[in-house]
Amino acid sequence: MNTLKIISVFVLSCLVVPEIHAQTKKLKRPTSRVGIGSVDQFVRESFDIYDKVYMYDSYAEAGKPLDDNDIDILENALDDLSLLSDSAPRIIGDLDGQSVLKKGKATLQINRSKKALSYSIKTAKKLLLENKKDEDEEETETSSDDDTTSDEDMDTSGEGSSDDDEDSSDAEEDINISDALEVYSKFDFVPGDKLLFFDDFSQDFIGDFPSKWNTNASGEVVQFNNVEGKWFELRSGYGVFFVPDVEALPEDFTVEFDIITRGIGRQTSSTARFHVIVSDNNSFKKGLNHYVQVSIPVGQYGAFSLRANNYFNSRVGEVNTDIKADVRKEVLNQPHISISVTKKRFRLWINTKKYVDIPRFIQELNVLKYLKFHINNFKDGEERLFISNLKVAEGGVDLRRKLLSEGKISTNGILFDSGSANIKPQSYGIIRQISQVLMQDNSIKLNIIGHTDADGNDETNLKLSKARADAVKSALINIYSISKDRLQTEGKGETEPLGDNNTTDGKAQNRRVEFVKM
């Protein structure tokens, strides 16, 4: 009888689905530090990602499907892994001049980290490939037409150029924008002329989540003692997205915003990044079937590349690349980000320097309609990122032809410091185009008219609008050598509003400069 019971228990246990256990023996994380900052950072980051991926060991063998959160974690891990793999040669170079003992210890730990990276890349790719294969099979089974989907390589490792072999200098509070206006004379970003969305959080209360945004995490509006305006703090995390209420983006549009970072330094991860995503949906993932994204590194211990990749028709796109750059000082000094999308072309500037210009980044038109932001691998509570002055506008192509054909243009893309006539550097793309019209036809004369919103009293706004028109005139004369006899100015203050001065969008429309042929 006892024997029969034992056999019955054994048979029943075989029928129960077993727990999923790791198939691969786990690598041990080094317990001691080498004492070389870049090496210790490399080892720690390698094993942090390895631990995330190792949780999925044996999923493929057990047939356990991935959910959306799993896919997000593995895709983000692959992005981070490729960055770390690219930095390995530079880390090895840091061993020069070290003692034999320290060099030997560092080499052992680097080699163990490389094994962890190799395992993680192989495992993550395998799981994502299997998941994609399952999805394709399901689509084939349920499809009622004859369309077939080809199997493509799901390699999202972003193999490309390694980053420059440079060490970061100590973080400084230097202003990274020159006072010499000539620096901006070749800046060619031109913002769109039809405002779609603007938010400086002036209508939101400190501590609240902004009313014109959505997220699957949290965030709050803050103020700084030494920085003008209100700022929205984004929170770091895998699968965490921040989505402004921007809908139905057109084929041609521009995006501008400012960011502030706090707590960023030499200990910041090489995988800490700020992502800008243009997507086919407003849900909390990169995209359903189509998206493009560019990510900006914030780490300071090396010159890490910008990254650009696209994804169309549920497939990894043609662009998956690292763009060599050193933006370490920029991310510490309140940079202004400008993006221009013109049909399939995608361009991105940080301050006045263009870092990304991909002619066919948008592989399919009229499918990308939403804007999203995402940051990851920031140390919680220590490393922080804030955004403000988000402006999305339709157009951004060429104001020159409009001025020549219609004899008049109005733009809210020429920006000034608050309550001041000081032109912000990102405004010079428009002023440059105006100068080109004047250079092309010496007979053209222009009246420059300044307008303000309704904040402040009428007399002050009238004077301010005239001063701003004068500032634009001075820029045309001093930078582009336009004769002052061809230019006159006028200020109309708040007397001719285009939008509602009770809203942030309306105020942004009203702060504008007009150019009228005389």
Per-residue pLDDT of the chain (518 residues; tens, 9 = 90+): 455 554 454 444 444 444 556 677 888 888 888 888 778 888 888 888 888 888 887 776 666 777 766 777 777 777 777 666 666 666 666 777 777 787 788 888 888 888 888 888 888 887 777 776 666 555 555 544 444 333 333 333 333 333 333 333 333 333 333 344 444 556 778 888 788 999 999 999 999 999 999 999 999 999 998 888 999 999 998 889 999 999 899 999 999 999 999 999 988 988 899 999 999 999 999 999 999 999 999 999 888 899 999 999 988 888 988 899 999 999 999 999 999 999 999 999 998 889 999 999 999 999 999 999 999 999 988 999 999 999 999 986 567 777 888 888 888 888 888 888 888 877 888 888 888 888 888 899 999 999 999 888 888 999 999 999 999 998 888 888 899 999 999 999 999 988 898 888 888 888 889 999 98
Q: Which residues of 241-261 are buried (b: 16+ CB within 10 A; e: fewer)?
A: bbbbebeebeebbbbbbbbbb
What is each CA distance from 125 to 57, 63, 321, 339, 484, in whole angstroms?
12, 16, 17, 31, 63
Q: State the Cα–Cα distance between residues 445 and 486, nearest whole angstrom.
A: 5
pLDDT for residue 140: 54
For 399-517, CATH number out of 3.40.50.720, 3.30.1330.60, 3.40.190.10, 3.30.70.2190 equals 3.30.1330.60
Residue with tokens 């990749």: 309
Give the CATH H-level superfamily of domain 188-394: Exo-inulinase; domain 1 (2.60.120.560)
The token pair at 506 is 């309306």
The token pair at 267 is 């200990």
pLDDT for residue 111: 84
pLDDT for residue 396: 64
Residues 6+ apart with CB under 8 A from 355: 306, 323, 325, 327, 348, 349
What's the pTM value of the predicted model, to 2 decimals? 0.64
Strands 446-451 and 487-491: parallel
Q: State the Cα–Cα distance between residues 517 and 484, nearest whole angstrom.
A: 15
Helix (H, G, I), strand (E, B) or coil at 210: coil
pLDDT for residue 78: 72
pLDDT for residue 143: 46
**Which helix (H) or strand (E) is 60 found in, with range?**
helix 59-62
Q: State the Cα–Cα distance between residues 298 and 227, nearest whole angstrom.
A: 20
pLDDT for residue 155: 37
What's the sign of the alpha-carbon dihedral 212, 216, 221, 227? negative
Residues 6+ apart with CB under 8 A from 46: 84, 113, 114, 116, 117
pLDDT for residue 144: 45
